C-alpha cells in the first residue's frame, strides 16, 4: 500500500516537472519569435511562424495551434508581442485540461 502511494506521488512530481518544462519552453519560443519578428527585414507573421517552428521542434506540434502576433508600442518604440495559448499536459506530452497563456515581446531597434 505504501509503494502504491509512493509511485503516485513520484508520477505526480514527474508530471508537474513536465508541465513546468512545457511552460518554460513556450515562454522561450514566444520571446525568440518576438525577437525574430522585430529584425529589420521581418514582420509579425515571420515572428509567429518562427514561434510555431520552435514549439513544434521542441514539443508536440499540438502546443503550437494558437500563436498570435501583435504589433505594439513599447516605451515609445515599435515592438512585437507574441502570445501563445496551449493546453497544460495532463498525461505525458498531450495537451489536456487548463491553459497556459505566455507572452514574449521585443522592441524593434534601428
Q: 3-state DSSP helix/strand/coil percent for the chain, to nearest 5?
A: 50, 30, 20
Q: Containing domain of residue 45, as a range?
A: 2-107
Can you give the pTM of this predicted structure?
0.90
Average the pLDDT over 75-102 and give the result: 89
The pLDDT value recorded for residue 92 is: 77
What whole-number distance in Å separates Cα of residue 63 and Cα of residue 55?
Answer: 7
- Please provide the average confidence, as pLDDT, over all residues in the chain: 93
pLDDT single digits (tens) 43-72: 999 999 999 999 999 998 889 989 999 999
pLDDT at 109: 84
Helix (H, G, I), strand (E, B) or coil at 68: strand
* Angstrom distances, CA of residue 50 to CA of 24, 62, 94: 17, 15, 22
pLDDT in tens, 17-34: 999 999 999 999 999 999
Number of structural domains the chain divides into: 1
Amino acid at each position: 500500500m505504501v509503494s502504491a502511494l509512493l509511485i503516485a506521488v513520484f508520477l505526480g512530481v514527474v508530471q508537474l516537472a513536465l508541465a513546468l518544462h512545457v511552460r518554460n519552453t513556450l515562454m522561450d519560443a514566444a520571446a525568440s519569435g518576438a525577437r525574430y519578428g522585430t529584425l529589420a527585414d521581418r514582420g509579425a507573421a515571420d515572428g509567429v511562424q518562427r514561434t510555431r517552428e520552435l514549439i513544434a521542434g521542441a514539443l508536440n506540434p499540438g502546443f503550437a495551434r494558437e500563436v498570435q502576433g501583435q504589433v505594439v508600442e513599447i516605451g515609445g518604440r515599435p515592438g512585437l508581442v507574441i502570445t501563445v495559448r496551449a493546453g497544460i499536459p495532463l498525461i505525458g506530452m498531450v495537451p489536456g485540461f487548463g491553459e497556459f497563456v505566455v507572452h514574449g515581446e521585443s522592441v524593434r531597434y534601428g
